[in-house]
């Protein structure tokens, strides 16, 4: 796809995701880690304005409001001051209409630049980075609005489910297939992006890694699997938990994944419902479990007599798998039952800390703050989710979040030593 066509398609998809929401919906910020939809619309435009249109390639561009430079800066300290992330929901002005006008003005300038074919290779590379950045924000837009709508006592739906689905209770209508483990030989393997196509800087340099022989589960841990952990006192057994995770579990009184709601009082055998972007419905035992933290994923793996995979193990296997799965294009916005693909449905937590690959150097300038500055106190996730655009996914993609994060669609795939 030509870069101009790609630009139009990505920018239009962001608008599609936002347009089903009211202006009031797009103003809400339900927690400091999430951002209002309106802010996502503005910030993704700010990226192109700041890193593309402020370059020498577009000297005729003028920002509609210089104050946007501060209001919609996320974390680029080299660019200048930033508005407090935890207070983005207070930005009732500029209005949603003004933000949409801002997007149109930025689009007109970027499209004119691409039509003229006068941009330098560096500017074209930055535009492609901006589109990948916008796809990340499309996923954040959905996960952030899910948290906001779930926080509303009315728990309104974001959209209608695209196809009828027979509801199944937590014990399911069908027998779940038992998890099978595939064994892989150890040795020296290559890790990291190579060849044509886009990759973020944190996906390289390509390098060698040593793997011991290991086994990897053929599908994701399901809600039914996770219910067994809960019913066996998984949230009450400190021996299963890392110390920081146990303290957090007790302090926050975790008893189930985020968005799960008990349908009855009683012990662990109670029935559960879960909030989804198409409303609240009974937990389906055959669907992959999502919205668990790294701490919960690790505790479950210990309970199951297994462990979480390393990111190198996952990538070594994923490199030979097709990038097929339940992504945002399905409009399910929820994991699919009986899903057996290697990609999509749920990001899987790995046991790997998010650190630089050997030989990594962050790019110069403010763009260098995109990934490198976060290589501390975060864990790597792999594989994409039901909120991820399919065109955004590849085997070398490294997502990362703090181990306590639950509002992202983090799930579990088990591994074992062979």
Per-residue pLDDT tens digits for 294-352: 999 999 999 999 999 999 999 999 999 999 999 999 998 999 987 667 899 999 999 99
pTM comes to: 0.94
The mean pLDDT value for 10-39 works out to 97
Count other Cβ atoms within 10 Å, centred on residue 193: 20
Nearest Cα to Cα of residue 382 among 337, 316, 328, 329: 316
Confidence of residue 263 (pLDDT cuts 50, 70, 90): confident
pLDDT digits (tens, 9 = 90+) for 50-91: 999 987 666 678 899 999 999 999 999 999 999 999 999 999
Adjacent-strand bridge partners of 415: 216, 307
- pLDDT value for 165: 42
For CA atoms 267, 270, 276, 280, the dihedral sign is: negative
- pLDDT value for 369: 86
Kind and range of the H or E element at 28? none
Helical residues (DSSP H) of 117-241, grouped into ranges: 121-151, 223-231
Per-residue burial over 216-228, b if 16 or more Cβ lie within 10 Å, else e, is bbebbbbbbbbbb
- pLDDT value for 413: 97
- pLDDT value for 161: 72
CA pair distance 107, 181, nearest whole angstrom: 48
Rounded to the nearest 10 degrees, how much is the dihedral formed by the CA atoms of 92, 97, 98, 100? 120
- Indicate if the pLDDT at residue 167 is higher than 80: no
What are the residue boundaries of the structural domains of the chain, listed by start? 3-151, 181-417
**CATH architecture label of 181-417:** Alpha-Beta Complex (3.90)
For CA atoms 364, 369, 371, 377, the dihedral sign is: positive
Adjacent-strand bridge partners of 62: none
Per-residue burial over 363-391, b if 16 or more Cβ lie within 10 Å, else e, is eeebbebbbeeebeebbbbbbbbbbbbbb
The mean pLDDT value for 365-382 works out to 93
User: Which residue spans within 212-322 are E strands per DSSP?
Assistant: 214-217, 260-262, 272-276, 279-282
In angstroms, how far is the first alpha carbon of the chain from the final one? 43
The mean pLDDT value for 221-236 works out to 97
- Indicate if the pLDDT at residue 170 is higher than 80: no
């Amino acid at each position: 796809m030509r870069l101009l066509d790609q630009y139009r398609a990505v920018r239009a998809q962001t608008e599609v995701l936002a347009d089903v929401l009211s202006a009031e919906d797009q103003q809400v910020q339900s927690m400091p880690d999430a951002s209002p939809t309106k802010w996502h619309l503005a910030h993704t435009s700010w990226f192109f304005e700041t890193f593309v249109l402020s370059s020498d390639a577009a000297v005729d561009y003028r920002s509609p409001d210089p104050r946007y430079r501060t209001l919609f800066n996320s974390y680029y300290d080299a660019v200048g001051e930033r508005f407090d992330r935890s207070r983005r929901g207070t930005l009732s002005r500029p209005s949603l209409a003004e933000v949409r006008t801002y997007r149109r003005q930025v689009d007109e300038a970027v499209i004119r630049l691409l039509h003229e074919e006068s941009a330098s290779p560096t500017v074209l590379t930055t535009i492609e980075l901006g589109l990948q950045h916008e796809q990340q924000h499309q996923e954040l837009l959905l996960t952030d609005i899910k948290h906001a709508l779930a926080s509303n006592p009315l728990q309104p739906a974001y959209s209608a489910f695209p196809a009828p689905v027979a509801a199944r209770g937590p014990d399911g209508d069908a027998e779940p297939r038992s998890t099978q483990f595939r064994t892989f030989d150890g040795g020296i393997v290559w890790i990291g992006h190579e060849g044509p196509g886009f990759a973020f800087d944190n996906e390289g340099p390509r390098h060698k890694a040593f793997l011991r022989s290991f086994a990897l589960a053929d599908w994701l841990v399901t809600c039914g699997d996770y219910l067994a952990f809960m019913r066996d006192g998984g949230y009450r057994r400190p021996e299963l938990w890392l110390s920081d995770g146990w303290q957090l579990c007790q302090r926050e009184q975790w008893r189930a994944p985020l968005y799960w709601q008990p349908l009855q009082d009683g012990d662990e055998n109670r029935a559960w419902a879960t909030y989804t972007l198409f409303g609240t419905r009974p937990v389906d035992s055959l669907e992959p479990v999502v919205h668990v933290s790294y701490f919960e994923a690790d505790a479950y793996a210990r309970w199951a007599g297994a462990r979480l995979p390393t990111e190198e193990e996952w990538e070594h296997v994923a490199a030979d798998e097709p990038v097929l799965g339940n992504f945002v294009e399905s409009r399910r916005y929820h994991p699919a039952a009986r899903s057996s693909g290697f990609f999509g449905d749920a990001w899987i937590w790995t046991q790997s800390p998010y650190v630089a690959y050997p030989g990594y150097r962050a790019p110069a300038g403010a763009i260098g703050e995109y990934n490198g500055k976060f290589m501390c106190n975060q864990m790597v996730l792999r594989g994409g989710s039901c909120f991820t655009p399919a065109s955004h996914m590849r085997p070398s993609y490294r997502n990362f979040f703090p181990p306590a994060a639950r509002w992202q669609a983090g799930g579990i795939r088990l591994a074992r030593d062979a």
